[in-house]
Structures are given as C-alpha cells and as structure tokens.
C-alpha cells in the first residue's frame, strides 16, 4: 500500500516534468534523466532540517517525510529518493559516509569529524553507466551545515588540531606496526645514503658545522628550545584535557557545569587508567556501557566491578544523581574490588 503511494508520487513528479518513466521509455529518455528529475523534486520542494522528525510507531519515517512533513535530515532525503526510484523499477541504495570540507593548512590534510557525516543515494543506471551517486539534499543547506567558520582563531585551532593528531599518531597509537614502519624508513634512508657516499659524508659534515653554529648561538638556541618545550607542554595538557572531557562525555556540556561534573566523575578516569595499565583500553568509538559489558562478559571474575562502576557513572552523568556519602562508599568499595582483581591477573 505504501509502495503504491510512493510509486504514484514518483510518476506524478515525472509527468509534471515531461519525463517518461521506465514502462514507456522513449529513445530520448534515459534513466539518468529520470533520477535527476526525482532528485530535483526533493531538492526544490523539501527543506533540510537537522532535527529528527517525530514519527508514530505505526508510521514509516520515509512515507511521513514524503507526504506529511516534507522536511528532514540528509538520511531522509537519500532514503526518499531510493524509495521513489525502486517504486518505478530502478535499483537504488542509500550510502552513508562523510563530506569533508575542513582543511588543515598546517598538516596538509582534510579533517573528518563526526559532524561531517552525510547520506546520499546510488542508483544503477544500466550496464554502461553502472551505479551513480545522486544527492537530493538541498546543496546550499548542506554547504551551510558543513561550512568552516573562519576567524582569527582559525590558525590556532589548526595548530592545536595538528598537535593533537601528531600526539595520537606518534605517541598514543605507537605500536609494533608503527615501529616497524619507522625502522623500514630508517633502513631505506641508510641504504639510499650508502649508495651515494659523497652525499652521505657531506650531510655529516654539514651537520657538524651546524652544531658549532648552534653552540655559538647557545643563548638563542636555549631560549627557542625552552619556548618549544613550554608550547609543547601546554599543547599536551590541552590534548589530555580534551581526551578527559571526551572520556567523561561532557565535551558538549556548558563550561559552567564542566568543573563540577569532572570532579564528581573523576573516579571513572581512575577506572580507565587502572584498566589501561593492564592492557584494557576503551576505544574512542565505544560507549562506556558497551565497554563495561564487554569486559564483564569476557572476564566475569572480578572485572564485573567495571560494570557496577559504569552504572554509577551513568547515574551521575546522565541521571543527575548526587555524589553523596553512600555513593562514595559504594564507588570506593568497587574500586578496591577492581584493583584486587587486576592485581591477581599479573
């Protein structure tokens, strides 16, 4: 029944635009022309809205989007276009990914954030053209949504973002694979330099001469080195602070409330630190509850305390419970159980 409504809508749209559908295709009408007509109908007649529209349990969100609300986020635009194409016999599917528009000039790469997520439609246009992408979401509203706000702080944000990226890549994510890649690069450099002995010797001589220059300008060098150390330490502090906010899931909380929440939730940072020292690291994409449930399932002897502590974390963070004396005693007791369980695993 719903499919018939969508099919009638698609055929009416094509008829008003003077486009023949697949059942009566003329030599001058292509599938690409058909999909473009349907896509333009959604782009021009519907409005992009980031808020999720409310739907009843017995209603299909796509049907409600097409016939009632006529506004919604990009997933509804993509799903609506796919449904209209399928209703008239064109294979279609919804793709989800990211629309990158933020470029870090300092690092020379595009930044992909969770807020850059986007959905579009792919339609099979036949054996010659294959699957082709179509984006029915109004382009002006998409560009406005993903636009990067430029200000005098842009360069500072880019520097901070690049420092955080470098810290995670070189320090936090340093593993056997990264170490082997670094060794391979060193070996490659040594072999290349060995093949050209004159260049290799010349580089050593230039480096030795440079050392003497540095010693002659030791005051400037030490001042510069001290400045770099201070800036590096500050950037590392900011990165750690940002990671703590993300771990406590309070990055979006107003600054006026962060300090109090951080103080009440500090016990969860202690949990993560204890677990990381024993090889249990929570991935950034995994929720605290899922991480705790996974640990309790794989290691029920002792690590079930993580689940109890995580429930306390959720009650304080999202249930707005106070950290009273009774709750503090419960947390201390569970932390002690966790500490004992981890020590027995050594």
Query: Do 209 and 310 belong together in one domain?
Result: no
What is the structure's pLDDT at 60?
Answer: 85
Which residues in 213-248 are b (16+ Cβ under 10 Å) and which e? eeeeeeeeeeeeeeeeeeeeeebeeebeeebbbebb
Residue that is last in its domain, among 114, 146, 178: 146
Examine residue 121 and state whether it is found in any structural domain, yes or no. Answer: yes
Whether 7 and 138 map to the same domain: the answer is: yes
pLDDT band at 50 (very low <50, low <70, confident <90, very high): confident
Number of folded domains in the chain? 3
Q: Domain check: are 186 and 278 in the same one?
A: no
Torsion of Cα atoms, 32 then 37 then 39 then 42, to 10°: -170
202 Cβ contact list (under 8 Å, min separation 6): none
Q: Examine the domain organization and report whether 22 and 117 are in the same domain.
A: yes
* End position of a domain, from candidates 244, 273, 302: 244
Do 126 and 213 have their domain in common? no
Prediction pTM value: 0.51
Does 328 have pLDDT greater than 60? yes
Q: What is residue 28's predicted lDDT score, i.e. its pLDDT? A: 44
Same domain membership, residue 232 and residue 278: no
Q: Is residue 77 part of a domain?
A: yes
- Per the domain annotation, does 117 fall within a domain? yes
Give the pLDDT mean for 79-99: 93
236-277 tens-digit pLDDT:
666 666 777 777 878 777 878 888 888 888 899 899 888 888
Average pLDDT over residues 141-169: 72
At 173 the pLDDT is 57
List the Cα angle 108/110/112 in 5-degree steps: 145
* Confidence tier at 226 by pLDDT (50, 70, 90): low
> Is residue 151, in this structure, part of any structural domain at all?
no
Do 265 and 235 belong together in one domain? no
Residue 79 clears pLDDT 90, i.e. is over it: yes
Query: CATH number for the domain including 129?
Result: 3.10.620.30
Cβ proximity of 104 and 97 under 8 Å: no
In the chain, what percentage of residues exceed pLDDT 70? 71
Same-domain pairing of 39 and 114? yes
3-state SS, 175-224, equals: CHHHHHHHHHHHHHHHHHHHHCHHHHHHHHHHHHHHHHHHHHCHHHHHHH
Q: Which of 244, 261, 279 finishes a domain?
A: 244
pLDDT at 172: 56
d(CA 267, CA 281) in angstroms, rounded, equals 16
For the ranges 31-35, 87-91, 220-224, the lowest mean pLDDT is seen at 220-224
Q: How far apart are CA 288 and CA 292, in angstroms?
A: 6
- Which domain range does residue 295 map to? 252-344
The pLDDT tens digits for 154-167 are: 777 777 777 777 76
Q: State the Cα–Cα distance between residues 256 and 114, nearest whole angstrom.
A: 24
Q: Are residues 41 and 165 in the same domain?
A: no
pLDDT at 25: 42
Determine the pLDDT at residue 58. Answer: 72
Q: Is 180 domain-assigned?
A: yes
Q: Which pLDDT does position 122 carry in this prediction?
A: 95
Same domain, 94 and 134: yes
Q: Based on the domain organization, do 113 and 16 belong to the same domain?
A: yes
- Residue 121, classed as helix, strand or coil, is strand
- Say if residue 289 is in the same domain as residue 237: no
Q: Which has more confidence, 343 or 132?
A: 132
């Amino acid at each position: 029944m719903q499919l018939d409504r969508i099919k009638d809508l698609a055929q009416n749209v094509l008829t008003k635009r003077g486009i023949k559908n697949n059942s009566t295709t003329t030599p001058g009408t292509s599938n690409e022309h058909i999909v473009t007509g349907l896509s333009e109908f959604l782009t021009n007649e519907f409005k992009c809205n980031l808020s999720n529209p409310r739907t009843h349990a017995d209603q299909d969100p796509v049907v409600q989007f097409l016939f009632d609300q006529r506004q919604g986020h990009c997933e509804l635009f993509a799903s609506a276009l796919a449904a209209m194409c399928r209703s008239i016999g064109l294979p279609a599917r919804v793709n989800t990914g990211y629309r990158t528009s933020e470029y870090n000039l300092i690092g020379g790469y595009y930044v992909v954030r969770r807020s850059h997520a986007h959905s579009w439609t792919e339609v099979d246009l036949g054996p010659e053209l294959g699957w082709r992408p179509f984006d029915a979401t109004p382009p002006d509203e998409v560009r406005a949504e993903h636009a990067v706000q430029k200000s005098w702080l842009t360069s500072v944000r880019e520097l901070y973002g690049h420092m955080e990226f470098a810290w995670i890549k070189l320090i936090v994510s340093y593993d056997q694979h990264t170490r082997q890649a670094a060794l391979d690069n060193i070996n490659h450099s040594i072999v290349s330099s060995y093949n050209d002995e004159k260049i290799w010797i010349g580089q050593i001589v230039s480096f030795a001469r440079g050392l003497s220059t540095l010693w002659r300008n030791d005051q400037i060098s030490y001042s510069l080195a001290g400045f770099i150390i201070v800036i590096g330490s500050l950037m590392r502090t900011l990165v750690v602070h940002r990671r703590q906010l993300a771990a406590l899931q309070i990055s979006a909380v107003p600054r006026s409330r962060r300090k109090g929440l951080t103080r009440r939730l500090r016990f969860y940072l202690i949990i993560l630190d204890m677990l990381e020292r024993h090889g249990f690291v929570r991935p950034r994409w995994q929720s605290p509850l899922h991480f705790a449930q996974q640990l309790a399932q794989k290691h029920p002897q002792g690590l079930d305390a993580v689940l109890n502590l995580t429930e306390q974390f959720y009650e304080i963070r999202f249930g707005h419970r106070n950290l009273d004396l009774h709750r503090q005693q419960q947390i201390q007791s569970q932390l002690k159980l966790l500490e004992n369980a981890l020590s027995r695993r050594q």
